[in-house]
Chain A
Amino acid sequence: MNNKNIFGVVLLLILGAFIAFTTVKTDEREQISPDKLHHKLIQKNRYFSPEEVANYIISGDPSIQLIDVRDAKFYNKFTLKGAVNIPLKEILKEENLSDYFDQDVYKTIIFSNGSSDANVAWMLVTRLGYKNVYVMKGGLNAWVDQILQPKEHSVVWDRIDDEMYQYRKGASEYFGGKSSTPTDDNAPIKPKKAIKKHKKKEVEGGCG
């Protein structure tokens, strides 16, 4: 063996011996950094207004899934059409995350009575790195105010207000609110089925 080879062997052995005593740092779950989370948090477009949600439901938009984070007893009394119930305290359960949040097909809209529980849920799942998660602004309180019992007149009333009112009145009728006429349409609402996501095919490795 010449000198160059000996040098190479010794260098490799020293590096190897050093590495043998190091440990690999591990991080269990991938989380997004605080500054990125903050950036997402202050974006206005993480909200959908009740009108927008109503529009989605009426038009039967297949690209949304609604998640009701209130307790089951409230959910059973009243919820939005097609909503799935995942109470806030169960939101981090592995099957809930994998069935409803680990996907990139639907816009996931979270709602509760007000906005705060939905925001907490939004924060938790966003921090875990799940995408396409939104909050219905004002929650079901705003839903009842704006969709089910739309107010007729404000002090300043113009064409846009009127269009909005007409829209809300129409939506209200659709959802069986105050201004609706009674119908027999009492068919039970079925929550959307969880999609069993086909895991993205992994990239295959190869020798080159």
Chain B
Amino acid sequence: MAPIFEQGSEWNFLAALFIGIAFGWVLERAGFSTSRKLAGVFYGYDFVVIKVFFTSAITAAIGLLFLNFFGIFDFESVWMPTTYTWPTLVGGIIMGLGFVTGGFCPGTSVCAAATGKLDALAFMGGIVLGIFFYSFTYEPIWETLRKSGKLGKVKIGELIGVQEGVAVLLFILFGLFSFWLVNKIKKTYNIKDVEY
């Protein structure tokens, strides 16, 4: 039963290296290493980001639950973050602002910098500055916010009171609906797919 390597094993670093390379490759192939594609979703001329995010989330959810069902994978040992309502909202807004102005999120900026994009390098510099700012002002400004609205480690299914499997089915339906909606918008406003 997975995990393949024990927790804390040195092999995890090697696994992380290969997963990281694969992740970067997929991001690059999806076109996420260009800020125009990423910002496009906010301006309404490119919807690849939505499609890729939903596809990956649905694939992962189905894969995890199937592997768990066949006893190959221990679903409960999958790490997930604790949910804090308020910091998630505030952080989401800040991140969204960075996303729409910079055209990258942290991972894609590294990916784009690897392909030699200068705006991505500038973006990464901004991330480092932001990290320093957050670290040095953590206690006076952020600490109370950071710990507010703790919900614990909740899954969406638990929150709305249905089983994990049902929640995944609902999520699939939602994903399919969003694919349909995006296609509809593209057709209505005659938006073409662009390769940068």
Q: Give chain A's interface residues, CB within 8 Å of chain B.
A: 9, 12-13, 15-17, 19-27, 30, 202-208
Contact = CB atoms under 8 A, between A and B. Distances in A.
Interface in B43-80: 53, 58, 62, 65-66, 68-69, 71, 74-77, 79-80
B15 to A, nearest CB: 15
A20 B166 contact: yes
A200 to B, nearest CB: 12
Interface stretch (B101-109, B114-122, B188-196): B101-109
Given A17-B169, A208-B27, A12 B163 contact: no
A26 B76 contact: yes
A29 B175 CA distance: 34
25 contacts: A12-B175, A13-B176, A15-B62, A16-B62, A19-B62, A20-B163, A20-B165, A20-B169, A21-B165, A22-B68, A22-B69, A24-B68, A24-B76, A24-B163, A25-B74, A25-B76, A26-B76, A27-B76, A202-B82, A203-B79, A207-B95, A207-B105, A208-B23, A208-B106, A208-B108
B79 A25 contact: no
Contact of A24 (B23, B75, B176): B75
B3 to A, nearest CB: 12
In order of increasing CB-CB distance, the 8 nearest A-B pairs are A208-B107, A16-B169, A16-B172, A20-B169, A19-B165, A20-B165, A205-B81, A22-B69
B164 interface: yes
B113 to A, nearest CB: 14
At the interface, is chain A mostly helix, strand, loop or mixed? Answer: loop
B81 A204 contact: yes
A25 B76 CA distance: 8
B173 interface: yes
Contacts of A204: 81
A24 B64 CA distance: 10
Given A16-B62, A16-B172, A206 B165 contact: no
Interface of B: 23, 27, 53, 58, 62, 65-66, 68-69, 71, 74-77, 79-82, 95, 105-108, 163-166, 168-169, 172-173, 175-176
Given A24-B164, A206-B106, A207-B105, A19 B76 contact: no
B165 A22 contact: yes
Contacts of A24: 65, 68, 75-76, 163-165
A12 B105 contact: no
A20 B164 CA distance: 7
Contacts of B75: 24-25
Contacts of B164: 23-24
A202 B82 CA distance: 9
A128 to B, nearest CB: 14
Contact of A16 (B74, B80, B173): B173
B16 to A, nearest CB: 11
B65 A207 contact: no
A34 to B, nearest CB: 15
Contacts of B69: 19, 22
A9 B165 CA distance: 18
A124 to B, nearest CB: 20
A203 B82 CA distance: 10
Contacts of A26: 76
Contacts of A9: 176
Contact of A207 (B58, B71, B107, B166): B107
